[in-house]
Amino acid sequence: MRLPPAIIPHTEELLREVLRFTGPADVTLSRYFRDNPRLGSRERGVIAEAVYGLLRNKTVLTNFAESGIGPMMRRLALLGLADAVGAESIAGLQEGEAEWLERVAQIDRTQLAPQMRSNLPPWLWDKLVARMGEAATLELADAMNRPAPLDLRVNTIKSDRDTVIAELAKAPVACEPTPYSPLGLRVFKKPALQNIPVFKEGAIEVQDEGSQLLAQIVGAKRGEMVVDFCAGAGGKTLALGALMRNTGRLYAFDVSEKRLAKLKPRLARSGLSNVHPVVIAHENDAKVKRLAGKLDRVLVDAPCSGLGTLRRNPDMKWRQSVETLGEMRAKQGSILASAARLVRPGGRLVYGTCSILEEENDEVIADFLQSHPDFILRPMSEVLAEQKIALDMGDYLKLLPHLHQTDGFFAAVLERRAA
Ligand SMILES: C[S@@+](CC[C@H](N)C(=O)[O-])C[C@H]1O[C@@H](n2cnc3c(N)ncnc32)[C@H](O)[C@@H]1O
């Protein structure tokens, strides 16, 4: 079925805003749809797919757009829409546009130069190729250019994985257990979860399998004192609280009151009562210092470039640069150093990011270990064995979309030497 012609100017206008990269694309999209309430759900879906497709394949599509006619933003909108729904579904094309889209559709994209095909910015392409070679970088880029499946985590305070699979089947939602996380389910079609009883009852939460694993390797146990230092909207906090069986004390710190506020309704659904959200002004806040040396486990899910989450946030690759990475790294080091003071002798500090870059990962840990001789690295292979997670890793957890079908994640487990 053909789409209404107004889809083209709407996509064009939205792209104009999104491609300024002044804020996250998903925020710009939500605002645009709020401001244009007459757009139906099908139209919104198509426009979003076109915009996200354009962000994913910007290098290739910008190159194709050069051969077209008419204003550049319209050409980009048409290419995004043609990739999303096929040129034959677009109504309101002007003279020559259908033929041009037909010519573009004939191009064999696998024959394009590797860097163009990767749709990565040159600085990122160069960095990844230097580390992993061209073939692996292309595989990684291809995997990051495909939308992520929907992963769920079963909340063991409320249910278990088998029960949830059976309950979802009634909805009906087909899913399968995730390969590595013992609590994960992968759903291939994206249902409206809000109306499904197991979601309303708090038995499931949306969480990428990689993110579930990061919470799992913290190894938080019943009755412990734990801090989630960068809790945000609480994805990992909720997983940690359940792993602690709703006992002990789990502090959820964040500098963003807005993000922590989003944790509240999730907490209410989860049935957890061991979580204490605390807004801090910065990583050296007095509220942090008061807990020095008292914690069994501290998780630092650090603010990062987000380059491991390109499947969901393809705009990140265009919003980051070598300069923003440098700023991020300084912040990460400072947060990790402050969080380390909370850990009791023998306690553990877990550092994680959703970045695939060594600058934000291995290098932050190397710097930390050099300046903190009272901490040692616990090899990830050992930590995973403790948690009975069948993943083959060395010193660190390094999850990659093309190898593990998760977002890109990094994690290191550090232990404070016993006094
Ligand atoms: C990767 S996100 C956390 C995601 C969250 N843990 C989850 O699983 O949903 C990083 C968080 O760090 C917070 N942050 C930034 N600077 C911080 C600081 N100095 N101290 C504590 N949190 C900080 C940000 O507000 C953001 O919510």
Under the banding of pLDDT at 50, 70 and 90, the label for residue 194 is confident
Among protein residues, the one with the nearest Cα to ligand 1's atom 15 is: 303
Task: Please compute the mean of the pLDDT values over residues 179-190 and round it to a whole number.
Answer: 93
- pLDDT per position as a tens digit, 16-62: 999 999 999 999 999 999 999 999 999 999 999 999 999 999 999 99
Beta bridge partners of 152: 185, 206
pLDDT above 90: residue 231 = yes
Residue 282 has a pLDDT of 96
pLDDT above 80: residue 1 = no
Whether 160 has a binding-site annotation, put simply, is: no
- pLDDT per position as a tens digit, 332-372: 999 999 999 999 999 999 999 999 999 999 999 999 999 99
Kindly report the average pLDDT of the chain as a whole number. 96
Provide CB contacts within 8 A for 305, sequence distance 6+.
Answer: 316, 320, 324, 325, 328, 355, 357, 360
Mapping DSSP to helix (H, G, I), strand (E, B) and coil, where does residue 16 land? Answer: helix
Q: Please choose from 226, 229, 254 the residue to mutate so as to test ligand 1's pocket, defined by most ligand atoms within 8 A of CB.
A: 254
- How far, in whole angstroms, is CA 50 from its chain's centroid? 20
Mapping DSSP to helix (H, G, I), strand (E, B) and coil, where does residue 71 land? Answer: coil
Among protein residues, the one with the nearest Cα to ligand 1's atom 20 is: 283
Q: What is the rounded CA–CA span in Å between residue 121 and residue 319?
A: 10
CA of 303 to the centre of ligand 1 (A): 5
Q: Please state, for a pLDDT cut of 70, what percent of the chain lies above it.
A: 100
Task: Please compute the mean of the pLDDT values over residues 282-297 and round it to a whole number.
Answer: 95
Task: Please compute the mean of the pLDDT values over residues 134-145 and round it to a whole number.
Answer: 97
Please report how the helices 97-105 and 72-85 are oriented relative to each other, as an axis angle in degrees rounded to 10.
Answer: 60
Whether 301 has a binding-site annotation, put simply, is: yes
Residue 419 has a pLDDT of 75
CA of 22 to the centre of ligand 1 (A): 20
Rounded (5°) CA angle 291-263-240: 60
Q: CA separation (Å) from 251 to 254, 270, 298?
A: 10, 16, 9
Residue 414 has a pLDDT of 98
Residue 278 has a pLDDT of 97
Q: What is the rounded CA–CA span in Å between residue 221 and residue 240?
A: 9
Burial, 121: exposed, middle or buried (Cβ in 10 Å; 0-12, 13-18, 19+)?
middle
Contact 300, 272 (CB under 8 A): no
Task: Please compute the mean of the pLDDT values over residues 73-89 and round it to a whole number.
Answer: 96
Under the banding of pLDDT at 50, 70 and 90, the label for residue 188 is confident
Q: Please state, for a pLDDT cut of 90, what percent of the chain lies above it.
A: 96
- pLDDT per position as a tens digit, 246-270: 999 999 999 999 999 999 999 999 9
Ligand 1-lining residues (CB < 6 angstroms): 211, 229-236, 253-256, 259, 280, 282-283, 301, 303, 335
Q: Please choose from 207, 255, 260, 410 the residue to mutate so as to test ligand 1's pocket, defined by most ligand atoms within 8 A of CB.
A: 255
Residue 166 has a pLDDT of 95
Residues in the chain: 419
Residue 348 has a pLDDT of 98
Under the banding of pLDDT at 50, 70 and 90, the label for residue 283 is very high
Token pair listed for 248: 């002990």
Under the banding of pLDDT at 50, 70 and 90, the label for residue 220 is very high
- pLDDT per position as a tens digit, 375-403: 999 999 999 999 999 999 999 999 999 99
Token pair listed for 189: 């079609």
pTM: 0.95
Tell the residue number behind the tokens 């070679």, with chain if given. 133
CA of 260 to the centre of ligand 1 (A): 9
Under the banding of pLDDT at 50, 70 and 90, the label for residue 191 is confident
Residue 190 has a pLDDT of 81
Q: What is the rounded CA–CA span in Å between residue 31 and residue 26?
A: 9
CA of 199 to the centre of ligand 1 (A): 25
Q: What is the ipTM of this complex?
A: 0.99
What DSSP state is assigned to residue 3? B
